[in-house]
């Protein structure tokens, strides 16, 4: 039996501002944006069109959800984004105003650097050895 993680949900304040950050600053692609009426939308983004896992944006509609925006993993990395060129993506994203925690560094498993989205979620940009 084949299984995989298809989607990971992320709490957001606003669909359009989250789309803008992830597409125009972080370089992701918009996979789906379907409106179902009454403000309901199914919005997914991914690092590339051939990614097997996508992020589903969930607009916070309660106080409890709103309190979790940007802190779904506390101050730890929430998601890992794999790339074939960490330095290239770092330079593009930095030029687009993305906040990074340092510069890419070589580690035993490749090259990595942590960045932050518009809500404070931390994501790890990783280029694995042999990717």
Q: What is the pLDDT of residues 59-115, one digit of tens each?
A: 999 999 999 999 989 989 999 999 999 999 999 999 999 999 999 999 999 999 999
**Under 8 Å between Cβ of 72 and 78:** yes
What is the percent of the chain with per-residue pLDDT over 90, rounded to a whole number? Answer: 91
Tens of pLDDT, residue by residue over 17-61, are 999 999 999 999 999 999 998 878 999 999 999 999 999 999 999
**CATH 3.10.180.10 matches 7-128:** yes
pLDDT at 131 over 80: no
**What tokens does 104 get?**
């890419």
pLDDT of residue 92: 98
pLDDT of residue 37: 86
């Amino acid at each position: 039996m084949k299984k995989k993680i298809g989607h990971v949900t992320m709490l957001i304040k606003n669909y359009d501002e989250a789309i803008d950050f992830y597409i125009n600053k972080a370089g992701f692609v918009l996979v789906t944006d379907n409106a179902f009426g009454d403000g309901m939308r199914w919005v997914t983004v991914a690092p590339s069109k051939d990614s097997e896992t996508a992020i589903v944006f969930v607009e916070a509609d309660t106080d409890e959800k709103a309190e979790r925006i940007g802190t779904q993993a506390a101050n730890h990395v929430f998601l890992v984004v794999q790339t074939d060129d960490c330095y290239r993506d770092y330079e593009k994203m930095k030029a687009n105003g993305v906040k990074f925690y340092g510069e890419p560094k070589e580690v035993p498993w490749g090259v990595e650097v942590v960045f932050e989205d518009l809500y404070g979620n931390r994501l790890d940009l990783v280029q694995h050895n042999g990717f």
